[in-house]
């Protein structure tokens, strides 16, 4: 059995690895002409976390769903069957595959090679793609000293995880950030996110608080796995997403739960408002540069006495603050927790340590659903 703690300790011994630039956005894309393959959610994530953050332009987007004259977010869009790259594009352009489902990658790469492209990478090859909202938080600019200053916390959090898979996920997550190079992570099936088959969540799913409900994707998974439950409460601050979510909940509430409630707001440690940056439907987040304003609420003040059995959160970097705003609920009901910990590097150590500091007897596990640090989820159960 691999000694994951020893591997983790070794990361602090060689600061030079932190200065690795081979997988940086500037090295891989730089001033090169960029063409994207994939017009789905991966395109959105890449646009928010790479193109927008690093002010890069895209020459074209390819996807078999496009037809002549199409555009995507103002970028000319083509079917690969109708796209004829120039000789210069074949030799020097970089094609970035943003399609998330890796089982399609072999076929996509083959079709791009047939078009003559010499430089083909995936979005996950670029380290900055995994930074999520770190650029907004300033963490992407911090050096190796950031991790050495937090070494004690990093090790203390690691020691909270007892199963082999959690410890391996933790170490590979830290390798990605401390070596600035994407590292493959053992992943489970995406349809099991928040509802793992190999971790016993002792309180069950009968009364769910779903934070960052998006378009109802988590509720759909819940219903597919468990059928009708007792009560569901959803929080979603993006009004376009909220409209899609509530249409789904309204049309299906009799099949979903005895009681279904949705709030058009985010969750935080207190009741307040923030500027909010949209992400073309997903990857929306609190941002000083946001074009709109959203209401955020502390769960303790909005659903007191709800007695949740499960709280799940994917709230684009506000998870730690949101947990603090739910402390009374957690102390009173001791629900199972399924919390995203990948938006900021420190969340993988600070969030488990915060929950542990409540001294309620929680046990901790990590699972991943993308093979890279995105969609890494902390499960806590008593």
Q: What is the pLDDT of residues 123-141, one digit of tens each?
A: 999 998 888 655 444 555 6
| Cβ-defined contacts of 344-348 (< 8 Å, 24+) | 344/132, 344/133, 344/134, 344/137, 344/139, 344/317, 345/134, 345/139, 345/147, 345/177, 346/139, 346/150, 347/317, 347/319, 347/320, 348/157, 348/170, 348/173, 348/174, 348/376, 348/378
> What is the per-residue pLDDT for 260?
98
Give percent of the chain with pLDDT exceeding 90.
80
Pairing of strands 363-368, 71-72: unpaired
Mean pLDDT of the chain: 92
Mean predicted confidence (pLDDT) in 196-219: 96
Q: Is residue 286 pLDDT above 60, yes or no?
A: no
**Res. 353 pLDDT band, cuts 50 70 90:** very high
Alpha helices in the chain (DSSP H): 4-10, 25-28, 41-46, 87-92, 105-114, 134-137, 145-149, 151-158, 164-178, 217-226, 239-256, 299-302, 319-324, 327-333, 347-357
Q: How far is Cα 153 from Cα 321, in angstroms, rounded to an integer?
A: 18
The three-state DSSP-derived secondary structure of 33-62 is: CEEEECCCHHHHHHHHHHHCCCCCCCCEEE
Q: How far is Cα 155 from Cα 4, in angstroms, rounded to an integer?
A: 11
The full set of domains in the chain, from first to last, is 25-125 (3.40.50.720)
**Res. 212 pLDDT band, cuts 50 70 90:** very high
In angstroms, what CA-CA distances link 60 with 33, 78, 121, 325? 9, 7, 15, 44
Mean predicted confidence (pLDDT) in 267-287: 71
- Residue 167 has which token pair? 């410890």
For the beta carbon of residue 342, count every other beta carbon within 10 angstroms.
23
pTM given for the model: 0.91
Task: Convert 52-78 to b/e letters by CB count within 10 Å (16 or more is b).
Answer: ebeebebbbbbbeebeeeeebeebebb
What DSSP character marks residue 167? H
Using DSSP, state whether 312 is helix, strand or coil: strand
Q: What is the pLDDT of residues 21-32, one digit of tens each?
A: 899 999 999 889
**Res. 292 pLDDT band, cuts 50 70 90:** confident
């Amino acid at each position: 059995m691999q000694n994951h703690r020893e591997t983790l300790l070794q990361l602090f011994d060689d600061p030079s690895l932190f200065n690795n630039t081979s997988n940086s956005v500037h090295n891989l894309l730089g001033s090169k002409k960029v063409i994207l393959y994939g017009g789905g959610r991966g395109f959105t994530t890449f646009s928010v976390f790479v193109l927008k953050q690093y002010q890069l332009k895209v020459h074209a987007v390819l996807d078999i769903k496009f037809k002549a004259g199409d555009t995507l977010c103002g970028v000319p869009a083509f079917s690969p069957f109708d796209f004829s790259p120039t000789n210069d594009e074949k030799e020097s352009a970089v094609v970035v595959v943003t399609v998330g489902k890796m089982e399609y990658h072999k076929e996509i790469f083959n079709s791009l090679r047939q078009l003559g492209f010499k430089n083909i990478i995936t979005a996950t090859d670029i380290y900055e793609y995994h930074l999520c909202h770190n650029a907004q938080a300033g963490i992407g600019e911090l050096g190796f000293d950031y991790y050495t200053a937090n070494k004690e916390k990093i090790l203390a959090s690691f020691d909270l995880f007892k199963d082999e898979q959690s410890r391996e996920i933790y170490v590979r997550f830290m390798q990605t950030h401390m070596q600035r190079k994407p590292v493959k992570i053992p992943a489970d099936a995406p349809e099991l996110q928040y509802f793992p088959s190999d971790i016993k969540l002792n309180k069950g799913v009968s009364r769910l608080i779903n934070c960052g409900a998006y378009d109802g994707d988590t509720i759909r998974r819940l219903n597919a796995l468990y059928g009708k439950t007792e009560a569901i409460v959803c929080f979603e601050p993006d009004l376009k997403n909220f409209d899609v979510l509530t249409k789904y909940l309204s049309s299906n509430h009799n099949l979903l739960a005895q009681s279904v409630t949705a709030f058009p707001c985010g969750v935080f440690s207190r009741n307040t408002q923030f500027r909010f940056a949209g992400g073309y439907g997903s990857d929306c987040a609190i941002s000083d540069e946001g074009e709109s304003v959203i209401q955020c609420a502390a769960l303790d003040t909005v659903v007191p006495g709800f007695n949740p059995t499960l709280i799940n959160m994917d709230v684009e970097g506000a998870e730690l603050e949101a947990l603090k705003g739910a402390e009374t609920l957690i102390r009173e009901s001791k629900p199972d927790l399924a919390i995203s910990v990948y938006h900021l590097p420190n969340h993988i150590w600070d969030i488990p340590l915060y929950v542990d500091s409540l001294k309620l007897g929680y046990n901790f596990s990590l699972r991943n659903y993308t093979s890279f640090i995105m969609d890494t989820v902390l499960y806590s159960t008593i």
